Amino acid sequence: MAEDDDNKENDLDDTKSDDEALADEWAAALGEQEATDADGGREDEWAAAMAEAESAEAKGKGADDDIRAASFETFDETMPTSAPGAPDLDVILDIPVTISMEVGNTQIAIRNLLQLNQGSVIELDRLAGEPLDVLVNGTLIAHGEVVMVNEKFGIRLTDVISPSERIKKLRG
């Protein structure tokens, strides 16, 4: 039993000496840090950088001055300008669109579709003489009737949908 007490005492002494050694290491590290700070360490570098920035601002030479001094000489003065908030239509006037006329449509089963051949007749949902739909990129913009123009088909517009109605149809 006395032997066990001696072992416990030795373990405590070892623990104390480990703790003391660790404390000494921390004290040495803190001493080095204080010496570095006193000799112009990181805090002094930061203070110097801040002082330099403050003196530049006092002289009126901040980083924002470089941005304000920029010029835009490459701006094309010939570009069309419009009133604020108004769309500039000149930008889109040369964009090509697909215009098509729809005689009518219907739905059939694939079985019937596969049985179609030359001479087959498909009944459409539109009555004879009823105006055709005029579509631009798939959007209905007008109704019209078929005419002949120099031996080619053409369409005479009979009813044009207002721009506000077209926008409503596009939105949903």
Q: What is the CATH number of the domain that holds 137?
A: 2.30.330.10
Q: Is the pLDDT of residue 46 over 80?
A: no
The domain total for the chain is: 1
Burial class from Cβ neighbours inside 10 Å (0-12, 13-18, 19+) for residue 131 reads middle
| Rounded Cα distance, 132 and 142, in Å | 8
Split at pLDDT 50, 70, 90, the class of 55 is low
Number of Cβ within 10 Å of residue 44's Cβ equals 13
Does residue 144 fall inside a structural domain? Answer: yes
Does residue 34 fall inside a structural domain? Answer: no
SS3 156: strand
Please tell me whether the overall predicted TM-score, pTM, comes out greater than 0.75 for this model: no
Does residue 14 fall inside a structural domain? Answer: no
Better-predicted residue by pLDDT, 38 or 121: 121
What tens digit of pLDDT does each residue of 87-144 get? 677 788 888 999 999 989 999 999 999 999 999 999 999 998 899 999 988 888 999 9
Split at pLDDT 50, 70, 90, the class of 54 is low
Contacts of 136 (CB under 8 A, 6+ apart): 97, 98, 99
Question: Between β-strands 139-149 and 99-102, what pairing exists: parallel, antiparallel or unpaired?
Answer: unpaired
What tens digit of pLDDT does each residue of 156-167 get? 999 999 888 877
Amino acid making up residue 144: G
Does residue 103 fall inside a structural domain? Answer: yes
Sheet holding 99-102, edge to edge: 99-102, 132-136, 139-149, 152-160
Q: Is the pLDDT of residue 3 over 70?
A: no
SS3 32: helix
Percent of the chain topping pLDDT 70: 58
Calculate mean pLDDT across residues 27-49: 64
Better-predicted residue by pLDDT, 33 or 28: 28
Does residue 164 fall inside a structural domain? Answer: yes
Range of the domain at 109: 89-116+124-171
Calculate mean pLDDT across residues 12-40: 67
Does residue 71 fall inside a structural domain? Answer: no
Does residue 18 fall inside a structural domain? Answer: no
